[in-house]
Structure 1
């Protein structure tokens, strides 16, 4: 009876761990990898229950190797999880982070028009857009100069003119206002292409640190437009494609692919597999 109780606790803890992993991933970009790892782990458990030592050894080591590889690929998400755990803010994982913030089309139009003209003139620019709760400016290398001004394409183009003192930094955009300019961002520690300049690596760096933001980058050398989010760079973009991405990002929709129903379904499947394995063992 005690062994049964221990096995139930073991399965429960595994399900809780899977639940936390799904919460950390957020956008489910790598959900299929998580599922693949779960399948490998279940196959390893099943092979040991059926007394297939060689297959169990191969699957166990394959699961371990897959877990190590995922640790590298999901380093941004794992870092966020460890930071929240260290701060004692693990409850933030359970907050509703899949609800996008709405933004008036006029603001998006002003932003896209400014980016288009900066791109045509090959004027380098870097813009941080909040897509969730306000960003803690302590995550910036230098917070920059407070502006708190209404967003307009004229103001954005003026800030990034090479004759201004603030053109080298980034601007922080919150809702329909430019909160600060001349913000210095941390550089990404990931290996990046040599074709990427400091602005692109800074955009990747801040989106690695902060989940609830995206960065728009205009290259000074080529005039190409890029978007960085969660440490990944989407480039090159046309102004029309940029508009589409911003409208998708700031449309107030709720992610219907919730974790809890899938977790409950997975729990039922794991429990059924465990009962079936026990029956095989008794035979």
Structure 2
């Protein structure tokens, strides 16, 4: 009888341990997916604050602090709604990938596609300067933290895959060319495509804004990993669209400053989720270090020094 009781306890303990381990693994996987989804450090702080609120709410419930738990629960719900609004494009992309069954992409951090040098920004700025001076309408899409899915465009346009140059940009937007009505996509230091038709923003906009401005607002509302530079055909004014908001009117100097600030290799633009191989190596090295400390063995670093 005692043996049966011990076997039952061992089986129950093993089952509980397995479930807890699976629970931890699933939470870690979900956390990693969130890091891949967010992909920017400054947004990560908001998610970290939300997680802290959730932990505080769970602890207050565990310790029987009813009033504090009530307040924290309402605060967590409000923050969840606010995050759903602030990160709506990320959540939309997550649900789209989930619906398409693209599970592998959920664990792959998007690679940065920033302009390779200041010369690319200079070429873009010089082209915009000439287009603005001659009052030639233009719409440039510049990718920031990863490639844009062509399915986000109404019409993907014509593939070019050419080096960015002010002459080419000016030529594309000349009124008599076939591609001047659409947008031009810039990825890194390459012009990927032109003649792209973009979805228009559903927001109520000023009557001074034309189709190009509404298209710039529409694509940056739908996709957060890009910005748009717009030149008005009527006035020659320059605008910059980011996350559905237009910054206008801009001078050439201000546009250059904004582009250099956005595409400078600062901390805020770094990806927050390492690759799976890199993450595996980090976990392995940390685990070996902890085991060596527990067993009193010399670490790899100390052995190398010797």
Same fold? TM cut 0.5: yes
How big is each residue's C-alpha offset from its partner over 1:138-182, in whole Å with a ceiling of 9 and x where there is no partner?
432123345555543234334334454533221233555544432
Assess if the C-alpha contact under 8 Å between 1:100 and 1:251 holds in 2. no
* Inter-CA distance 80–192: structure 2 relative to 1 (3 Å threshold): farther
State which of 77, 87, 93 in structure 2 corresponds to 1:80: 93
Assess if the C-alpha contact under 8 Å between 2:136 and 2:231 holds in 1. yes
Structure-2 residue corresponding to 1:17 = 30
SS in structure 1 opposite 2:110?
Answer: coil
In the TM superposition, residue 8 of structure 1 has moved relative to its aligned partner by 5.9
State which of 14, 17, 28 in structure 1 corresponds to 2:41: 28
In the TM superposition, residue 51 of structure 1 has moved relative to its aligned partner by 0.8
* Inter-CA distance 83–54: structure 2 relative to 1 (3 Å threshold): same
SS in structure 2 opposite 1:51?
Answer: coil
Assess if the C-alpha contact under 8 Å between 1:103 and 1:250 holds in 2. no
CA distance in structure 1 between the partners assigned to 2:256 and 2:33 by the alignment: 33
Structure-2 residue corresponding to 1:199 = 212
* Inter-CA distance 24–138: structure 2 relative to 1 (3 Å threshold): closer
The range that moved more, 147-156 or 79-88, is 147-156
CA distance in structure 2 between the partners assigned to 1:225 and 1:76 by the alignment: 26
Matches for 1:78-227 after TM superposition, within 5 Å:
78-131=91-144, 135-146=148-159, 151-174=164-187, 176-189=189-202, 191=203, 193-194=205-206, 196-210=209-223, 212-227=225-240
TM-score (norm 1): 0.73
Structure-2 residue corresponding to 1:42 = 55
State which of 218, 223, 241 in structure 2 corresponds to 1:228: 241
Assess if the C-alpha contact under 8 Å between 2:199 and 2:218 holds in 1. yes
CA distance in structure 1 between the partners assigned to 2:190 and 2:32 by the alignment: 36
CA distance in structure 1 between the partners assigned to 2:163 and 2:272 by the alignment: 36
The range that moved more, 245-254 or 175-184, is 245-254
Q: Specify every segment of 5 or more residues in structure 2 that has no aligned partner in the other structure, as ranges.
A: 1-12, 284-306
In the TM superposition, residue 36 of structure 1 has moved relative to its aligned partner by 2.2
Q: Give the count of matched residue pairs.
A: 261
Structure-2 residue corresponding to 1:273 = none
CA distance in structure 2 between the partners assigned to 1:148 and 1:209 by the alignment: 24
How big is each residue's C-alpha offset from its partner over 1:236-274, in whole Å with a ceiling of 9 and x where there is no partner?
44323433444555567896674469xx9xxxxxxxxxx
Assess if the C-alpha contact under 8 Å between 1:26 and 1:98 holds in 2. no
* Inter-CA distance 39–250: structure 2 relative to 1 (3 Å threshold): closer
TM-score (norm 2): 0.69
Assess if the C-alpha contact under 8 Å between 1:100 and 1:250 holds in 2. no
